[in-house]
């Protein structure tokens, strides 16, 4: 039996505006953000860089975690991001390469 995966993620823009979300399809959701296919905050603020994500097999845990992170002060969110991604690299590039080798350059 295949287990489902759920992701809590944080995306940002060049100004480091933070957006926290939850999804069962991280790659698809990041694609939608990058291509402005989701109307609202993320599109308005050009949120397109994946800087943090964590995975769980339980949808309720993911939702609770998303709400927890959204309730934090900005400084605590930044600490969370920098604990895993101190340079604020766009993790989507690595994520897409891991899932689809044809997306690798070179």
Q: What is the pLDDT of residue 103?
A: 45
Report d(CA 41, CA 47) in Å as an integer: 8
Burial class (CB in 10 A: 0-12, 13-18, 19+), 13: middle
On the 0-12 / 13-18 / 19+ scale of CB atoms within 10 A, 68 is: exposed
Per-residue pLDDT tens for 17-72?
999 999 999 999 999 999 999 899 999 999 999 999 999 999 999 999 999 999 99
Q: pLDDT per residue over 63-95, tens digit each?
A: 999 999 999 999 999 999 999 999 999 999 887
> What are the structural domain ranges in the chain?
6-103
CATH architecture of 6-103: 3-Layer(aba) Sandwich (3.40)
């Amino acid at each position: 039996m295949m287990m489902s995966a759920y992701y809590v993620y944080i995306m940002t823009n060049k100004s480091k505006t933070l957006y926290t979300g939850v999804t069962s399809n991280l790659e698809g959701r990041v694609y939608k953000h990058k291509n402005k296919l989701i109307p609202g905050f993320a599109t308005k603020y050009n949120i397109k860089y994946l800087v943090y994500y964590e995975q769980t097999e339980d949808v309720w845990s993911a939702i609770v975690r998303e709400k927890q992170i959204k309730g934090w002060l900005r400084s605590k969110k930044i600490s969370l991001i920098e604990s895993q991604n101190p340079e604020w690299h766009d993790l989507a590039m690595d994520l897409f390469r891991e899932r689809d080798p044809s997306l690798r350059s070179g």
